[in-house]
């Protein structure tokens, strides 16, 4: 009896904790959106409100770093109260990535010839950009590290003891010291191969993964094997409660409300929730299962193909098409408009408060797809906290080098990608869509609009870049970049240790070419390359907008496209 009472109390505590965590996440979401809105209102004066999420990320990083400078207990407060919620938002921000592909319709499709040209330029620019970015970053950093070690050897080491070959180089010349950070933690070798997939596996959370009931229920009786088997089956079913709950709301609330009132946002929201959380759990459960355990390479491949973004894109595309077929009142384009208008939440708020209607959305409609995109914007803002965790890596020569390389690669990407598209056979708007071929969605749209590019082609290229990267990362990252062994309950102080040129160059390459999807993947896998990727993505995106909107760069881009 006492054990049953204790179990009930434990379950109540877990439930109450889950509700509190949910309220924290909702509060962080609203706070981040309010920050984005406030910044966007300020940026309206210079007509660049689309920078709001990026500036919000930098503001959060600056604020937390400044507070920590004056009071070291800020880090303890962050680790205790905020970190798990930030990790949850960062993990699930990828729910917004499928939306641009889901919104493509027949009227925006190109003919077979132009699709072939787009695919050809997509492959060429990816090969050149990934290879070039990594090679430039790695060899420049490696050369600097060798020269630095030689200089130190000459100044501190007797001539007879100078090595002919420099030791394995690390970049750790911090501009700002931080005595509160310990660098003596052991980090696994960045080149340790791993046969099993260690891909994008979202962190365990009360919102998407039930705690095993075996931890909640004491074995008070001598239960036979049959009862144990039944309990295990029940546990497996109950652990799928996020998907079951989404389906329940979809059928019990979403469908009746849509049928009675024509209001489909609840139905669409449940469909997004069900598609995303189900694909996330499918991939996770497959990785943990014993299926193909004796063939790790095959399991690695299958788990990688079960990419959450890719599968969610397919499920939502099928859902939207099915709704269009089943509805006699709406065609496909109208169903898509009810799903998403493509306007950020801050623009909808501004239009409602200032009574300045959006030209393409006079009713300030905000659909389920727009909510998913808003979660993506919030995810970018909370990256400021992740940068705070890795601040020592950024306030270093490696951080400055990341910024410098990103600016140079941004210029090369804008001009060469457009020129390459024109040479292959694409003209005008299709060629200009490659000007922002790997920029995060928040900045790609204004960059392409400024030069008159095809937004549909650009959205397809950007999201395809991210999906392609997530399919490749599990096969190469464990052989190149180290991950921390710290658990979520620890401070992750090892993230502030020195990194070698291979880790830094990999982070730069992923941040520039994989954009937000690549950065989210690195943070999801707790990679040491993540902060460099976030900085590279930010600088690369901002400079891409500059090169496509500011003269004389804009004129050069237009001339390269043949317009």
Q: Return d(Cα 436, Cα 444) in angstroms, integer.
A: 5
Among 311, 319, 329, 328, residue whose Cα is nearest residue 368 = 319
What pLDDT is recorded for position 404? 92
pTM for this predicted structure: 0.78
What pLDDT is recorded for position 521? 86
Among 194, 419, 159, residue whose Cα is nearest residue 299 = 194
Among 272, 262, 516, residue whose Cα is nearest residue 370 = 272
Ranges of the chain whose pLDDT falls below 70? 1-4, 106-108, 152-239, 482-498
Radius of gyration of the chain from its Cα atoms, rounded to whole angstroms? 25
What pLDDT is recorded for position 159? 46
Which residues, in sequence order, are CB contacts of 511 under 8 Å at separation 6+? 406, 518, 519, 532, 533, 534, 535, 536, 537, 540
Report how far apart, in Å, the C-alpha atoms of 479 and of each of 190, 195, 372 are: 6, 10, 33
Q: Please give the torsion angle defined by the CA atoms of residues 528, 534, 535 and 538, in that order, rounded to the nearest 10 degrees.
A: 170
Report how far apart, in Å, the C-alpha atoms of 176 and of each of 81, 173, 390, 392, 397 are: 26, 9, 13, 8, 11
Q: What does the buried/exposed string (b/e) look like for 144-178 if buried means 16 or more CB atoms within 10 Å of the residue's CB?
A: bbeebbeeebeeeeeeeeeeeebeebbbbebeeeb
What pLDDT is recorded for position 51? 87
Q: Which two tokens stand for residue 230?
A: 């039944």
Q: Rounded to the nearest 5 degrees, what angle is found at the Cα of 461, between the Cα atoms of 460 and 466?
A: 100
Q: Which two tokens stand for residue 127?
A: 């090969």
Residue 352: Cβ-neighbour burial (10 angstroms; 0-12, 13-18, 19+): middle
What pLDDT is recorded for position 296? 82
Q: Return d(Cα 188, Cα 165) in angstroms, integer.
A: 23
What pLDDT is recorded for position 237? 62
What pLDDT is recorded for position 196? 37
Q: Which two tokens stand for residue 504?
A: 């830094």
pLDDT tens readout for residues 270-322 = 999 999 999 998 888 888 888 888 888 888 888 888 888 889 999 999 999 99
What are φ and ψ of residue 262, in 5° steps?
Answer: 80, 0
Task: Give all strands (DSSP E) within 300-352, no chain letters.
Answer: none
Report how far apart, in Å, the C-alpha atoms of 360 and of each of 296, 337, 373 are: 50, 10, 17
What pLDDT is recorded for position 497? 53
Q: Which run of H or E residues covers position 352?
A: helix 345-354
The residue whose two tokens read 């990790």 is 87
Q: Which two tokens stand for residue 457?
A: 């082609």
Q: Return d(Cα 479, Cα 475) in angstroms, integer.
A: 8
Q: Which two tokens stand for residue 493?
A: 């102080």
Q: Which two tokens stand for residue 155?
A: 């100044």
- Label residue 167 left, alpha or beta by phi (over 0 means left) and psi (-120 to 50 means alpha): beta
The upper half-sphere exposure of residue 104, i.e. CA atoms within 13 Å in the direction of its Cβ, equals: 19
pLDDT tens readout for residues 375-397 = 989 989 998 998 898 887 778 88
């Amino acid at each position: 009896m006492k054990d049953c009472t204790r179990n009930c109390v434990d379950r109540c505590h877990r439930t109450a904790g889950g509700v509190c965590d949910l309220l924290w996440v909702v509060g962080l979401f609203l706070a981040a959106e309010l920050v984005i809105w406030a910044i966007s209102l300020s940026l309206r004066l210079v007509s660049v409100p689309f920078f709001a999420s990026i500036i919000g990320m930098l503001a959060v990083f600056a604020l937390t770093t400044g507070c920590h400078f004056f009071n070291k207990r800020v880090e303890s407060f962050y680790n205790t109260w905020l970190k798990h919620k930030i990790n949850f938002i960062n993990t699930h921000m990828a729910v917004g990535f499928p939306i641009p592909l889901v919104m493509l319709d027949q009227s925006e499709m190109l003919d077979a010839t132009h699709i072939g040209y787009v695919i050809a330029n997509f492959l060429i620019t990816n090969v050149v950009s990934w290879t070039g970015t990594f090679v430039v970053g790695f060899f420049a950093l490696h050369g600097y590290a060798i020269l630095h070690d030689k200089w130190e050897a000459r100044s501190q080491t007797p001539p007879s003891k100078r090595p002919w070959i420099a030791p394995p180089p690390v970049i750790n010349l911090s501009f700002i010291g931080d005595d509160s950070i310990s660098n003596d933690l052991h980090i696994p070798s960045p080149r340790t191969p791993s046969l099993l997939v260690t891909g994008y596996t979202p962190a365990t959370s009360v919102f998407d993964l039930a705690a095993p009931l075996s931890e909640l229920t004491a074995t008070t009786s001598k239960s036979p094997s049959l009862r144990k088997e039944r309990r295990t089956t029940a546990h497996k079913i109950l652990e799928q409660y996020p998907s079951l709950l989404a389906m329940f709301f979809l059928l019990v609330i979403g469908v009746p409300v849509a049928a009675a009132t024509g209001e489909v946002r609840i139905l669409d929201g449940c469909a997004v929730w069900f598609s995303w959380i189900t694909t996330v759990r499918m991939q996770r459960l497959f990785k943990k299962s014993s299926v193909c355990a004796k063939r790790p390479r095959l399991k690695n491949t299958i788990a990688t193909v079960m990419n959450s973004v890719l599968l969610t894109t397919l499920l939502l595309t099928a859902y939207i098409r099915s709704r269009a077929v089943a509805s006699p009142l709406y065609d496909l384009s109208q169903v898509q408009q009810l799903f998403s208008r493509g306007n950020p939440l801050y623009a909808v708020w501004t239009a409602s408060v200032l009574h300045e209607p959006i030209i393409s959305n006079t009713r300030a409609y905000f659909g389920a797809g727009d909510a998913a995109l808003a979660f993506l914007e919030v995810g970018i803002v909370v990256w400021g906290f992740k940068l705070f965790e890795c601040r020592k890596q950024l306030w270093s020569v490696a951080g400055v080098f990341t910024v410098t390389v990103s600016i140079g690669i941004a210029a090369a990407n804008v001009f060469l990608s457009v020129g390459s598209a024109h040479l292959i056979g694409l003209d005008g708007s299709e060629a200009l869509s490659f000007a922002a071929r790997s920029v995060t969605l928040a900045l790609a749209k204004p960059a392409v609009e400024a030069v008159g590019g095809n937004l549909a082609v650009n959205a397809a290229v950007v999201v395809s870049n991210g999906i392609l990267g997530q399919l490749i990362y599990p096969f190469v990252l464990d052989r190149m970049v180290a991950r921390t062994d710290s658990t979520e309950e620890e401070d992750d102080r090892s993230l502030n240790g020195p990194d070698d040129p291979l880790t830094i160059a990999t982070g730069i390459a992923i941040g520039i070419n994989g954009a937000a999807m690549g950065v989210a993947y690195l943070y999801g896998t707790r990679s040491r390359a993540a902060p460099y990727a976030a900085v590279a993505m930010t600088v690369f995106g901002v400079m891409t907008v500059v090169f496509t909107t500011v003269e004389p760069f804009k004129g050069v881009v237009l001339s390269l496209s043949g317009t």
